Structure 1
């Protein structure tokens, strides 16, 4: 029972996930500070409220309120986190992977002549050689112009 649990914990993806959760929690505090120090003051000027949490609230007849500002603040936080994760982590990793794949792929060898083209070229060279030596084969005969010597045992 403990052996399986140990193997589960020591897998690389479990460790990676744990690191991602810790980094994500730390990064969330950075995003909260950006929203508190940069975005909330701008919202305060525009909506005359201290933060998005207290901006754009609609009171309900039963005594509750709908906080549209808090929802917009959560969406802004999400967009900031998503943008930073994409531009700082995902995009560079994708670029690195594409560079590694490009290095691993060998350049394609230029396509040479086909087998039929090579055989045709050899035939033409043999004909030219035979014509140059004065031995022009009779192409009307059915047997091959170049005969192999008889096989001896």
Structure 2
């Protein structure tokens, strides 16, 4: 019963992913890739989702938010997502998702899935740091600080600690 419910959960996650990608395509605009000669994947701007992510098992796409268009960190963000695609992280993420869904009842599998996702991110960051040197670190710090600033802008209460 647990196994079949896990398979059902994975099927639901796949259906939600397909719906999300269709929604992203309908509510996005294409970025001129002539500015990025080494990027073989299309780059699209959408207000749905996080600041940047990549999708597509068959037709990979890099998705960015419109506010990234004029940011100094744009090249680092594109390089990060491009590295995910070049490493095949999308395939690994789907494998992790399948295992996580099928064995949703096993806390060890859930912990290992979370660690595997973290490892994919760290591996990508490491390759970007080697390629872009100190610029990547500065751009990443700048992005994190700007996201923190957005979240804490309307926070009038400051905790004691």
Q: TM exceeds 0.5?
A: no
Structure possessing the higher radius of gyration over alpha carbons: 1
How does the TM-score come out when normalised to structure 1? 0.28
Q: Which structure has more RCO (C-alpha within 8 Å, separation ≥ 6)?
A: 2
How does the TM-score come out when normalised to structure 2? 0.27
